[in-house]
Amino acid sequence: MASISAWGCHSPQGETGLIPSSQRVSAPEISGFPLNFGDSISLAKYRGKVVVLDFWATWCGPCRMELPSLVKLNQSYRDKGVQFIGLSVELNENMSKDYFDKFLASFGITYPVALASTQTIQAYGINPIPATFFIDKSGKIAATFEGLRSETDFTSALDQLVAEPGT
């Protein structure tokens, strides 16, 4: 996929509809250094669930503005078969684990979060951030949102994906 040329935050644009099932492609596997929960991050272990994969950074204003909606939606949808995963793109920032622990606690993030590997960032073509991928129950990308999006956009995509039949 695309290579990374520069980091930046992004403003909203685009549609909120899902990619038709017949046109969806398999989501690349993810990897990174876990920041909470201590487990390795993997899409494979969430097969059969809808996955919301959010790429962000602590220094990104739109990312920080979007996080409260993601935290709220995680609480609302986790019992409906939805798994949220956060991937920070802060590869060379040399932030301590304590820094991330405080950041995650300040936003009340209770879903798995990791520092995204370079391979994962490249596989998803991340630039700009925030970038949020909605992955269907069969492991295929059903929607991609770049930039700050409304909670309504996310809810619409989630409601549609939760209603789809499983794998």
The reply to whether 81 falls in a domain is yes
The string of DSSP letters for 3-37 reads PP----B----S--PPPPGGG--BPPP--EEESSS
The reply to whether 15 falls in a domain is no
- Give the pLDDT confidence of 86-121 residue by residue, as tens digits: 999 986 667 788 899 999 999 999 999 999 999 999
Give SS3 for 151. helix
The reply to whether 94 falls in a domain is yes
Instruction: Assess whether 9 carries a catalytic annotation.
Output: no
Contact present, 129 and 89 (Cβ < 8 Å): yes
The reply to whether 3 falls in a domain is no
Instruction: Assess whether 60 carries a catalytic annotation.
Output: yes
> Which one from 9, 63, 85, 113 is the annotated catalytic residue?
63
Task: HSE, CB side, 13 Å, CA atoms: give it for residue 118.
Answer: 5
Give the CATH number for residue 37.
3.40.30.10
The reply to whether 2 falls in a domain is no
- The single-letter code of the amino acid at 72 is K
> Which one from 60, 89, 116, 161 is the annotated catalytic residue?
60
Tell me the C-alpha distance between 20 and 89, whole Å. Answer: 29
- Give the pLDDT confidence of 127-161 residue by residue, as tens digits: 889 999 999 999 999 999 998 998 999 999 999 99
Q: Which domain holds residue 134?
A: 21-163
The string of DSSP letters for 30-75 reads --EEESSSSSPP-SGGGTTSEEEEEEE-TT-HHHHHHHHHHHHHHH
- Give the pLDDT confidence of 23-53 residue by residue, as tens digits: 999 999 998 888 887 778 889 989 999 999 9
